[in-house]
Amino acid sequence: MASQQTRPARGMRDFLPDDVRRRDYVIGVIAGVYRRYGFEPLESPALENIETLTGKYGEEGNKLIFKVLRRGEHESSGETDLALRYDLTVPLARVVAEYRGKLPKFFKRYQIQPVWRADRPARGRFREFYQCDVDSIGSRSMVVETELCAAVSEVLQTLGFEDFTIQLNHRDLLTALLVGVGIDPALHATALVAVDKLDKVGVPGVTTELVERGVSERSATALLDAFENPGRLDQLVGASELGGHAAAQIAEILTLADATPARGRIKFVPRLARGLSYYTGAIMEVAVPDLAGSLGGGGRYDGLIGMFLGEEVPACGFSLGLERILVVMGERNMFPASVQQASADVLVTLFDAATVPEALRLAAELRREGVRVEVYPEPDKLGKQMKYAAAKAIPFAAVLGGDEIARGEVTIKNLLTSDQQSVPRASVSASLRKGSSA
Amino acid sequence: MASQQTRPARGMRDFLPDDVRRRDYVIGVIAGVYRRYGFEPLESPALENIETLTGKYGEEGNKLIFKVLRRGEHESSGETDLALRYDLTVPLARVVAEYRGKLPKFFKRYQIQPVWRADRPARGRFREFYQCDVDSIGSRSMVVETELCAAVSEVLQTLGFEDFTIQLNHRDLLTALLVGVGIDPALHATALVAVDKLDKVGVPGVTTELVERGVSERSATALLDAFENPGRLDQLVGASELGGHAAAQIAEILTLADATPARGRIKFVPRLARGLSYYTGAIMEVAVPDLAGSLGGGGRYDGLIGMFLGEEVPACGFSLGLERILVVMGERNMFPASVQQASADVLVTLFDAATVPEALRLAAELRREGVRVEVYPEPDKLGKQMKYAAAKAIPFAAVLGGDEIARGEVTIKNLLTSDQQSVPRASVSASLRKGSSA
């Protein structure tokens, strides 16, 4: 039969065992911290009705949604009725609207699942990638923002990050600023898209782009100047009630965070804009020095659930990007040695056909004591079986020939040192533990 | 804004926290047992190139694949290029073909991920559901089948199932039988589809269907008779080399299994057919008395990887259905109490605005000691905060007013007994542990 294309689809990845172990380690740390903060797990389906997703992510986002063809008699119509989830926030908003009566007044959930975006694949950018989201629903208090920053800080510290910053800003502060420098409200959304590129293209580039987007050169210059000039910023922001209120919320988060693991991590960055359109209050983004782009971000989105429920429910969340965390941890060698363990603690070899049942019995005994055991699947030359174990970095091999069975013993070979010894059957697991800690 | 449809898409489900905790418990048991058997984790993308999946599952399967529309300029063409994975076996075959050189000679992997089928939703049948697969690649030895049955038995025993049977049969034995009763090889596949319905429609129903599918009434009767008559079966099967070899493999699995946790669990069931077309040897299916359908199944498929690699690689696997296991465990109340734990061990209340930082500091201290802490997000009447904790079954509330702060103490209220006591700040976590074990 002809062989087929075997690579994963474009922008998709297979995760071999070592990859999965690294991913599971990071996911375990994240989920563990979130649980200590009282967040509960939620999962939503990969496929949503297409109208649930459309109109939530802006024009660019809409184009990147993977759409699923209708089935059966409708298949040939080319129509689509389902789509793969694009993020975990819109599904959360739908879930909160659907189960509002069953959920606690303050619903704190985490959700760690893949999302799909038909983006052009690039280094570190994939079409299937995991988001690790944590959100608090139901309160407008800045304790919510503070606890989210604290939880994210604790996750990153637990993973070994020492040099991250949580950049903090507020959508209303940006609005007050844009109004203050005389930019028409109709141009605010487009202006923020340009501001979002400051890190990439610098002040001259953003000035040019702001003007192209219809902002006067004078306003553009005043805006970019205010980002660099705290006195001027305070003046512009303080001039409006909206700006004053936003500045007070920023100050409150900074004060409260001092009592949490986010202490010293949060930095007010007035030019931080965040791409998504649904944010309504504080916005946050995690930066580390050697990564263009962020490890994650989030903010307050008090209007999104209302799009499903018809009634406004306050909400704030944070999303960590698993893939970027893994990239940085890999480059910096941050994984503990225990993550890359061998697939088994011992290989039980098969001496000959007659001894197979006794070898299986030994494997069962050891597994009952928590030892991870691989059984070589067929009787073969012992040397070949040992070589197989060594290639898989399995530290020990157990040999159970007719002689050993008669004596009630097992020969244990340490594949690193080549030492071997016969031990009574009942003390094999103890001997393996001793040997591996020696 | 108008409220939108908020239910999950047809045949899809949202998993609220209690659901996720039950699912994670079962997945944890399954993965833990598989790891003790030396299986390693693998993950593959949800989306595969469409040609990877088509032609692997038979005509019925092809119809149930969710297909993804091409994007950008091709979107309006109605063409599809990607599809959601339909099972975990075909992606495994693709992965083995792609990474053959990087994988060990015997590749033992487990994979626990969702699959998607556009089936008509029914009780216990969903369009997104998890499969828990475990497969051994690279050996033709019956030790492989035996270890798979042992691992599955240990999973089910660990979950608390006492009454399961692993039904065992062999594709070549069925072939020998069909030949023996005079059924034309061209009709074998269609005949097995009818035989597969024996449990549902009984002997008369299957006889009728066999005849409708072109089998003579005489052959149909002989076949169904052989299933009930061991002497006749042996005679028919033993008459061919193929049948004799298959019977010997069945006997070998039964003998070897006696040395493993599958002891007494495996039953030779000559009418077991299994739906999928890719099986080539032993086939297995897990039955429990009060469930129509199975908890899982599997078998040997020595030809599938060759469809991708162009070279035959022996393989055998077993897939457990997470959703059915959950249904039966739910109906039988098999979940340990610890699975349905509250979202937090203690609620830290907020007394007033001035004490919020100290409350956050207490939360940080407790979390550092491994206590799961929810902080009430806003200062409010204490009674209201207590009521919130009680509604969420959080066992304790911590109160930290100005007086407590001055004395270096915290008031701990047991929400079940309404007892409360003031304890020194440093012994709060110990006091919570003592209180919850009392």
Chain A CA closest to residue B303:
A1
Global ipTM: 0.94
At residue B161, the pLDDT reads 96
Strand partners, A125: A122
* Enclosing H/E stretch for A298: strand A296-300
In the structure, what pLDDT confidence band is assigned to residue B114 with cuts at 50, 70 and 90?
very high
Is the predicted pLDDT of residue A403 greater than 80, yes or no?
yes
Q: Which has more confidence, B200 or B86?
A: B86
Is the predicted pLDDT of residue B1 greater than 60, yes or no?
no
Fold of A17-331: BirA Bifunctional Protein; domain 2 (3.30.930)
Residue whose tokens read 């429609």:
B201
Each residue's pLDDT tens digit, B246-263: 999 999 999 999 999 999
Where in chain A are all domains bearing CATH 3.40.50.800? 342-437
Work out the average pLDDT over A23-48: 98
Is the predicted pLDDT of residue B438 greater than 70, yes or no?
no
At residue A434, the pLDDT reads 85
At residue B4, the pLDDT reads 62
> For the packed helices A198-212 and A188-195, what is the interaxial angle rounded to 10 degrees?
150
Chain A CA closest to residue B8:
A48
Work out the average pLDDT over A294-321: 94
Return the residue in B5, B26, B33, B47 with the most chain A beta carbons within 10 A, the one to mutate for interface testing: B47
At residue A1, the pLDDT reads 39
Residue whose tokens read 């694009």:
A86
Q: How many CA atoms lie within 13 A of B289 on its CB side?
A: 4
> Phi and psi dihedrals of B328, rounded to 5?
-65, -45
Other C-beta atoms closer than 10 Å to the C-beta of A261 total 22
Work out the average pLDDT over B201-217: 95
In the structure, what pLDDT confidence band is assigned to residue A4 with cuts at 50, 70 and 90?
low
Is the predicted pLDDT of residue B55 greater than 90, yes or no?
no
At residue B78, the pLDDT reads 82
> For the packed helices A241-257 and A171-180, what is the interaxial angle rounded to 10 degrees?
140
In the structure, what pLDDT confidence band is assigned to residue B437 with cuts at 50, 70 and 90?
low
Work out the average pLDDT over B72-92: 90
- Beta-sheet strand order (sheet of B67-69): A47-49, A80-84, A67-69, B67-69, B80-84, B47-49
At residue A140, the pLDDT reads 98
Tell if the CB–CB gap between B47 and A66 is shorter than 8 Å. Answer: yes
Chain B CA closest to residue A253:
B357
Question: What CA–CA distances, in Å, run from A391 to A215, A374, A387, A396, B100?
Answer: 64, 13, 6, 12, 15
CA distance B315 to B246: 16
Each residue's pLDDT tens digit, A83-95: 999 999 999 999 9
At residue B205, the pLDDT reads 96
Chain B residues with CB-CB distance to A28 below 8 A = none
Instruction: Determine contact: B58 vs chain A, CB below 8 A.
Output: no
Instruction: Determine contact: B188 vs chain A, CB below 8 A.
Output: no
Work out the average pLDDT over A197-220: 94
**Residue whose C-alpha is closest to residue B1's, from A356, A25, A359, A56:** A56
Query: CB of A140 within 8 A of CB of A303?
Result: no
CA distance A314 to A301: 7
Instruction: Determine contact: B389 vs chain A, CB below 8 A.
Output: no
At residue A234, the pLDDT reads 93
Instruction: Determine contact: B391 vs chain A, CB below 8 A.
Output: yes
Q: Which two tokens stand for residue A86?
A: 């694009």
Our CA-based measurement puts residue A206 at a distance from the nearest CA of chain B, in whole angstroms, of 28
Tell if the CB–CB gap between B139 and A72 is shorter than 8 Å. Answer: no
Return the residue in B10, B16, B396 with the most chain A beta carbons within 10 A, the one to mutate for interface testing: B16
Chain A CA closest to residue B340:
A40
Work out the average pLDDT over A407-431: 95
Each residue's pLDDT tens digit, A328-378: 999 999 999 999 889 999 999 999 999 999 999 999 999 999 999 999 999
Tell if the CB–CB gap between A344 and B38 is shorter than 8 Å. Answer: yes
Each residue's pLDDT tens digit, A119-153: 998 877 899 999 999 999 999 999 999 999 999 99
Is the predicted pLDDT of residue B3 greater than 80, yes or no?
no
Q: Which two tokens stand for residue B283?
A: 């086939």
At residue A278, the pLDDT reads 85
Tell if the CB–CB gap between B141 and A378 is shorter than 8 Å. Answer: yes
At residue B125, the pLDDT reads 86
At residue A437, the pLDDT reads 61
Question: What CA–CA distances, in Å, run from A432 to A347, A348, A386, A397, A406?
Answer: 11, 12, 16, 10, 21
The secondary structure of B138-181 as a DSSP string is S---HHHHHHHHHHHHHHHHHHT--S-EEEEEEHHHHHHHHHHT
Instruction: Determine contact: A375 vs chain B, CB below 8 A.
Output: yes
Work out the average pLDDT over B324-329: 94
Q: Which two tokens stand for residue A88?
A: 């975990």
Chain A residues with CB-CB distance to B371 below 8 A = 36
Residue whose tokens read 């990887």:
B305
Question: What CA–CA distances, in Å, run from B307 to A6, B89, B97, B170, B354?
Answer: 10, 13, 9, 22, 69
> Phi and psi dihedrals of A129, rounded to 5?
-150, 155
Instruction: Determine contact: A212 vs chain B, CB below 8 A.
Output: no
CA distance A161 to A325: 10
Q: Which two tokens stand for residue B312?
A: 């035959």
At residue B373, the pLDDT reads 98
Our CA-based measurement puts residue B234 at a distance from the nearest CA of chain A, in whole angstroms, of 25
> What's the whole-number average pLDDT of chain B?
94
Instruction: Determine contact: B49 vs chain A, CB below 8 A.
Output: yes
Q: Which two tokens stand for residue A68?
A: 């699923």
Each residue's pLDDT tens digit, A154-184: 999 999 999 999 999 999 999 999 999 999 9
Percent of chain B's residues with pLDDT above 90:
86
Chain A residues with CB-CB distance to B97 below 8 A = 3-4, 6
Strand partners, B131: B113, B321
> For the packed helices B171-180 and B217-228, what is the interaxial angle rounded to 10 degrees?
130
At B399, the amino acid letter reads V
At residue A327, the pLDDT reads 92
**Residue whose C-alpha is closest to residue B263's, from B251, B254, B250, B272:** B254
Is the predicted pLDDT of residue B361 greater than 50, yes or no?
yes
CA distance A345 to A347: 7
At residue A71, the pLDDT reads 84
Q: Which has more confidence, B62 or B138?
A: B138
Instruction: Determine contact: B392 vs chain A, CB below 8 A.
Output: yes
Percent of chain B's residues with pLDDT above 70:
99
Instruction: Determine contact: A358 vs chain B, CB below 8 A.
Output: yes
Whole-structure pTM value: 0.95
Chain B residues with CB-CB distance to A99 below 8 A = 14, 16
* Enclosing H/E stretch for B101: none
Q: Which has more confidence, A124 or A423?
A: A423
The pairing of beta strand A67-69 with beta strand A165-170: unpaired
At residue A2, the pLDDT reads 42
In the structure, what pLDDT confidence band is assigned to residue B2 with cuts at 50, 70 and 90?
very low
Where in chain A are all domains bearing CATH 3.30.930.10? 17-331
For chain B, the straight-line distance linking the first and the last C-alpha, in angstroms and rounded, comes to 51
Each residue's pLDDT tens digit, A113-127: 999 999 998 877 899
Is the predicted pLDDT of residue B340 greater than 90, yes or no?
no
> What's the whole-number average pLDDT of chain A?
94
Query: CB of B21 within 8 A of CB of A352?
Result: no
| CATH number of this structure's domain B342-437 | 3.40.50.800
Work out the average pLDDT over B22-33: 98
CA distance B302 to B170: 13
- A164 burial class (0-12, 13-18, 19+ CB within 10 angstroms)? buried
- Strand runs labelled E in B343-402: 346-348, 373-375, 396-399
